[in-house]
Structure 1
Amino acid sequence: MTEKRTIQAEDLYQLKSVADPQLASNGRDCVFIETVMLEEENKYSSHLYYINVSEKNKPVQWTFGEARNHSPRWSPDGQRVAFVSDRSQKGQIYVLDVKGGEARQLTTCPNGASNPVWSPDGTKIAFNVALKNGESLSSSNKSEEKKDKRPVPLEVDKMKYKSDANGFWEGNYTQVAFVDIQTEETGLLTSGEHDYQLQSWSPDGKYVTVTADLSEEKDQSFLSDVYLINAETKEARKLTESTGYFGSATWSPNGKYIGMLGHEREYKNATLSKIWIYDMEAEKLDCLTKDSDLLIGDYAIGDFQQGAVTLGILWGEDNHSFYFLATDHGNTVVYYGTLEGELYPALLDAQHVYGLSTGGKVDRAVVALSKPSHPGDLFVLHVTSGELEQLTNVNEAFLQETVLANAEPIEFTSSDQWDLHGWIMKPVHFKEGDKVPLILEIHGGPHAMYANTYFHEFQCLAAQGYAVLYINPRGSHGYGQQFVDAVRGDYGGKDYEDLMDAVDYAIANFDFIDENRLGVTGGSYGGFMTNWIIGHTNRFKAAVTQRSISNWISFYGVSDIGYYFTDWQIKSGLNDIETLWKHSPLAYVDKMETPLLILHSEKDYRCPIEQAEQLFIALKDRKKAAKLIRFPEANHELSRSGKPNLRISRLNYIAGWFNEYLN
């Protein structure tokens, strides 16, 4: 038998990601998205696939070419699928008849269209569109002549003028529009100088549910309210009380209740998201999970899956029960709930569920599921028995020829008696008696969670002969409200001690670890912590900091979120420079002796590249071992959704640095 090969960074070109399963109301027909990276074209390609979950035949591809086709949504009668495709450059809404034939383009919006939602009678599709005031919903299909490309000044008069996802604001507002399926006539449901996010359509067709922040002064406003828009008169009615952040609004089949996810920002962005129910008859909103410490939704960190969507609660046909995803102790799991407040786990294994669809049924669901040594596939979940049946095996050939590392869960107690949880990966082809280097990985957020999911970066390091340690220090999601809030105001405090306790635990309990060959890396908050660690200990022989923060004082003014995130997380602002500097890794640069590789994207507006530049120049000025790698045309999301060649270069830089200093 031929020995399996080890994984490489370049295998991202071989791996396929499946996501966003959508089960039709008949409970049998399922459509989903499969995404691959095209090496020669250096881009992503996504396609719709169909499978009958009862017959479990091989999936059938429904779209073709090099485009990204995504967001499939069934018509109420299950005879058509609406989806978004960029085959005509900008993403537009298309509809496909399940009996066959070419997909028909329904929109020609100048800035693209997204998020299709069917009307209950199947005659219209609502969608989101970005428009300038007075701009038309339609544009010519013909290629526009090249416009004058001379640079023009950017006028800025508000603080929220840029975002890492969208770059500089160009005057567009996100509106809700609709298109008639037969006539292809379009119209707007919202307008004005506000952004509206489409949620759902009421079962009787009278209302479209949207979320928006209609505050006049938005620079200091961090709200998301749920509104009902009358589909005929366009009148808006607010359901929430501007007390926090609410969204993911879904209707019960009888139209009596609206379920939504949200919180009232008691702990700023560290507040746990909960389930809320709005009673249409009583006109009252109540929090269904107010007494629970369970985090609703999927907050797991990964670097592989493409096209996963944010889910609200999925109602059953009985109008009082529903399913939802929850983040819990290193897993994302499926829960069953009722209007009476009952909560029961329906799938509680060690896994990452990053997709869920029920088609409105209560007896079974389709889940997208990943584990540390399984990139991801679709499964049928039989709710009564808890049995899982595999529907897809998209990476079967790859997994047959490639060996992956397993992740062993660890639990330990911190130096101040907090329970902590994480994983350790042995190197691939590990032999008893070996002494191997260890790399500590630190996640971003900080309010996120490492999980039982596939992580390509970890697998690549394990394939190179490294043990990989990763934990969820305080500040992470999945372990209750007190735990996630504990990091605020204490960056570099107990969170740092948690990570050092984890390293101590690993060395004491795994005799294969060579404590003289330790490396550390992380991105965003994990990059901050990497910088902090090497300024406070010399136990690590190599470090790689990614998209990091080094100076909270400058971060305040240059990040797209700096002026409020600094206040929320450090609990300080420019009126207290001393505190900001005390929490800045740059303040400890004289103590940094660990060779440091700095990876940063040129268009990172979340943690701008000047954070990397400051640290690099300070280290080089002190004759320290440091190197800076700048990634062009990339933002904060480089490791997850950046250009394929840059993602692979990043992985090879990380491995190369550790190979140089730990071997």
Structure 2
Amino acid sequence: RRLTHADAKDGTPRWSPDGKHIAFLSNRSEKPQLWLLRVDGGEAWQVSTLSDGIGGFAWSPDGQSFVAVSKTTDLPSEDADKKDDAEKSDVKHIKKIRYKADGEGFLDFKPRHLWLVPAFGGDPHRLTDADIDDTDPIWSPNGQEIAFVTNRTDDREMNTASELWAIHAHGKEERCIIGGDSSSFGSPSWSPDGSQLAFVGNWHATAGGALDNDLWVVGAAGGDPAPLTETHDRSIGDSAMSDVYASSATRPLWSPDGASIYVLISRNGSTHIYSVAAGGGTPKQLTSGDRRVSGFSLSSDGGQIAYVSGAATNPGDLFVADSDGKNERQLTDLNSDFLGGVTLSTPEEFWVKSPDGADIHGWIMKPVGFEPGRKYPMILQIHGGPHGMYANAMMHEFQLMAARGYVVVYTNPRGSSGYGEDFTTYTHMAWGEKDMPDVMAAVDWAIAQGYVDENRLGVTGGSYGGYMT
């Protein structure tokens, strides 16, 4: 059943605690704002009017308010004209060492703050006012505190630390839960009784994503955190790539009894849901198959998991399974009309030896209408990151190339995520040098299959893949 019909982008839906409303972000008023919709019908109405829009939000446990992330500031009215003049100018006055960001370009030097927004009428007010971003907020079960991600270190202009802090929901009292110059933590998640927080990360902020992110727990008051997955040689999180579905921001989810924590883990080209005992232990894989499982949630009684699952020839659909991964049922078939009207190339998995003997994972796509005995031009695709992972997930760009008569080859050379920490860190201080033999080994393998015209080879990629190209 379709719930919204506006000519706009509606996303990030969140159930109210009592299940009677759905809150979501929409750009109906240009910048993304909070909107509410009654589940039993009726038109949606706008809740927030923050001038810089909202980038994320969470319901309070009592369902009466939201904590929202916004760049909005409460500038005095006498500064409004100065602000308007500054926005009209194309001159950039750089006053901080951190002035550009991937995906944003030149920064506007307006940090993201936490705001408290009433759900059913009333004025919003700003909770935090730091000179650096405060993001990823989550309420404590009793509604008294909000945990969030920030960097309040003294050297924050020069480091890449990511700390966990908490603020009183109805005041300005802030406290550090876990942090420091070397901290690289995020995705906080309160235990059901509020006594602990689970989170993801490591103590190596300067590693730039090369080292595995572990699952941790720490007492709500702070103190020494306990790693739960440090003996598991895969990073916590979804590192898969797709151009039809972005990575999901699913934080660790606790079972209602607090005994287990559910996370996503990427391994050898697939991403699946795992459960980890709250006291530590080997993660237990719950879903399986050559696919990418992404956003997921637990039922209120913890008996079922709902999740999005896609594959190389399907953008993704909604599934439900028991909390142990059994009795999976597909609930939607959203792309049947589209898929029924196109011819797709099914990627064929291969493994190849790099010159030093390392095993490199890749896929090859034959052109649509492939004829044995003919030779075809080939395009090599190289992913960005470099700490990411091509996966058993749909790539529209690759399908378009195959439809135009190209062989497409894509691989996960060393430096990629999903194959162990040593594999990911192998290219440290050697980008484009240590990984190139891995990529070229796949090219040689593809040519050896006999249907690639070695005089018509192309190479392309995005971000780090562009650098490699």
* TM-score of the aligned structures, taking structure 1 as reference length: 0.66
Asked if 1:192 corresponds to 2:127, the answer is no
Counterparts of 1:365-404 in structure 2, within 5 Å, are 365-384=305-324, 386-404=326-344
Corresponding residue SS for 1:468: strand
Aligned to 2:257: 318
Distance in 1 (CA, whole Å) between partners of 2:370 and 2:357 is 33
Judged with a 3 Å threshold, the aligned counterparts in structure 2 of structure 1 residues 281 and 219 are, in CA distance, closer, same or farther, namely closer
Distance in 2 (CA, whole Å) between partners of 1:229 and 1:450 is 38
Aligned to 1:338: 277
Aligned to 2:424: 484
Q: Which moved more, 1:521-530 or 1:328-337?
A: 521-530
Deviations 1:144-179 (A, max 9, x none): xx9798536332121212223333333422111112
Deviations 1:121-155 (A, max 9, x none): 1111111111346469xx9xxxxxx9798536332
Corresponding residue SS for 1:399: helix
Match of 1:201 among 139, 147, 150: 139
Residues 199, 250 of structure 1: 8 Å contact kept: no
Aligned to 1:24: none
Distance in 2 (CA, whole Å) between partners of 1:219 and 1:188 is 23
C-alpha deviation, 1:233, in angstroms: 3.1
Aligned to 2:391: 451
Aligned to 2:376: 436
Amino acid at match of 1:239: I
Match of 1:228 among 149, 166, 191: 166
Distance in 1 (CA, whole Å) between partners of 2:97 and 2:257 is 47
Distance in 2 (CA, whole Å) between partners of 1:196 and 1:492 is 34
Distance in 2 (CA, whole Å) between partners of 1:147 and 1:194 is 24
Asked if 1:157 corresponds to 2:87, the answer is no
Q: Which moved more, 1:375-384 or 1:334-343?
A: 375-384
Residues 348, 363 of structure 2: 8 Å contact kept: yes
Residues 59, 66 of structure 2: 8 Å contact kept: yes
Deviations 1:369-410 (A, max 9, x none): 111111221112334463432211111112112111101110
Distance in 1 (CA, whole Å) between partners of 2:76 and 2:264 is 39
Residues 164, 186 of structure 2: 8 Å contact kept: yes
Aligned to 2:184: 245
Corresponding residue SS for 2:443: helix
Residues 178, 223 of structure 2: 8 Å contact kept: no
Aligned to 2:200: 261
> More helix by proportion, 1 or 2?
1
Residues 177, 221 of structure 2: 8 Å contact kept: no
Judged with a 3 Å threshold, the aligned counterparts in structure 2 of structure 1 residues 331 and 152 are, in CA distance, closer, same or farther, namely closer
Corresponding residue SS for 2:225: strand
Distance in 1 (CA, whole Å) between partners of 2:93 and 2:38 is 46
C-alpha deviation, 1:182, in angstroms: 3.0
Deviations 1:195-231 (A, max 9, x none): 2114210001111011111134433111111011111
Distance in 1 (CA, whole Å) between partners of 2:300 and 2:359 is 39
Distance in 2 (CA, whole Å) between partners of 1:348 and 1:518 is 35
Match of 1:79 among 14, 17, 20: 20
Aligned to 2:52: 111
Distance in 2 (CA, whole Å) between partners of 1:152 and 1:328 is 45
Distance in 1 (CA, whole Å) between partners of 2:211 and 2:300 is 29
Aligned to 2:41: 100
Identity %: 37
Aligned to 1:524: 463
Aligned to 1:167: 105
Residues 234, 266 of structure 2: 8 Å contact kept: yes
Counterparts of 1:289-368 in structure 2, within 5 Å, are 289-305=229-245, 308-342=247-281, 343-368=283-308
Q: Which moved more, 1:69-78 or 1:429-438?
A: 429-438
Residues 443, 523 of structure 1: 8 Å contact kept: yes
Instruction: Give the greater-gyration-radius structure (CA).
Output: 1
Asked if 1:61 corresponds to 2:2, the answer is yes
Which structure has more relative contact order (CA 8 Å, sep 6+)? It is: 1
Aligned to 1:7: none
Which structure 1 residue ranges, 5 or more long, are not aligned?
1-59, 140-145, 531-663
C-alpha deviation, 1:526, in angstroms: 1.3
Distance in 2 (CA, whole Å) between partners of 1:406 and 1:400 is 15
Corresponding residue SS for 2:55: strand
Distance in 2 (CA, whole Å) between partners of 1:402 and 1:372 is 14
C-alpha deviation, 1:412, in angstroms: 2.0
Distance in 1 (CA, whole Å) between partners of 2:410 and 2:442 is 8
Distance in 1 (CA, whole Å) between partners of 2:466 and 2:249 is 26
Counterparts of 1:562-577 in structure 2, within 5 Å, are none
Q: CA-atom RMSD, angstroms? A: 2.1
Distance in 2 (CA, whole Å) between partners of 1:474 and 1:523 is 17
Aligned to 1:287: 227
Judged with a 3 Å threshold, the aligned counterparts in structure 2 of structure 1 residues 350 and 215 are, in CA distance, closer, same or farther, namely same
Distance in 2 (CA, whole Å) between partners of 1:96 and 1:473 is 46
C-alpha deviation, 1:319, in angstroms: 0.8
Asked if 1:275 corresponds to 2:215, the answer is yes
Judged with a 3 Å threshold, the aligned counterparts in structure 2 of structure 1 residues 172 and 149 are, in CA distance, closer, same or farther, namely closer
Residues 249, 259 of structure 1: 8 Å contact kept: yes
Which structure 2 residue ranges, 5 or more long, are not aligned?
none
Distance in 2 (CA, whole Å) between partners of 1:415 and 1:166 is 39
C-alpha deviation, 1:83, in angstroms: 1.1
Distance in 2 (CA, whole Å) between partners of 1:217 and 1:333 is 37
C-alpha deviation, 1:74, in angstroms: 0.9
Judged with a 3 Å threshold, the aligned counterparts in structure 2 of structure 1 residues 178 and 485 are, in CA distance, closer, same or farther, namely same
